[in-house]
Amino acid sequence: MKARLKFLRIAPRKTRQVINLVRGKNVEDAIAILQFTHRSASEPVSKLILSAMENARVAGANVDNLVVHRIFVDEGPTLRRFRPRAQGRATRINKRTSHVTCELAER
């Protein structure tokens, strides 16, 4: 059972720090870990795991035996913004996005 979260406005490096906490864990344990993780990506990743769990329930899987089988982050498109600097120059600010994919499997 799979779920995808696309165009998350958090950098992939920051999102990977969160998903590394829950990879291979039981779904209930993963939700509990993310609930007490003070990172901005923990709420969207938690919602993604709940969505994948609901997809598994609809497909007929036993929700009690689900584990986070694969979860990974790919880089999405980068929004480029410019900040004015001294002497008429400008520097580029990269606002990165993430695509997160979560696959659950029965234990």
* 54: CATH: 3.90.470.10
pLDDT at 15 over 90: yes
pLDDT tens sequence across 41-94? 999 999 999 999 999 999 999 999 999 999 999 999 999 999 999 999 999 999
Six token digits for residue 84: 């004015």
Cβ–Cβ under 8 Å, residues 103 and 70: yes
Question: pTM to 2 decimals?
Answer: 0.92
**Residue 88 Cα distances to 18, 80, 82, 85, 93, angstroms:** 39, 19, 12, 6, 16
pLDDT at 107: 86
pLDDT at 100: 97
- Between CA 38 and CA 43 the distance in angstroms is 9
> Which residues form the domain of 42?
2-106
pLDDT at 67: 96
Q: Length of the chain in residues, anyone?
A: 107
User: Domains in the chain: how many in total?
Assistant: 1
pLDDT at 21: 96
Task: Give the rounded distance of the alpha carbon of 30 from its chain centre.
Answer: 12
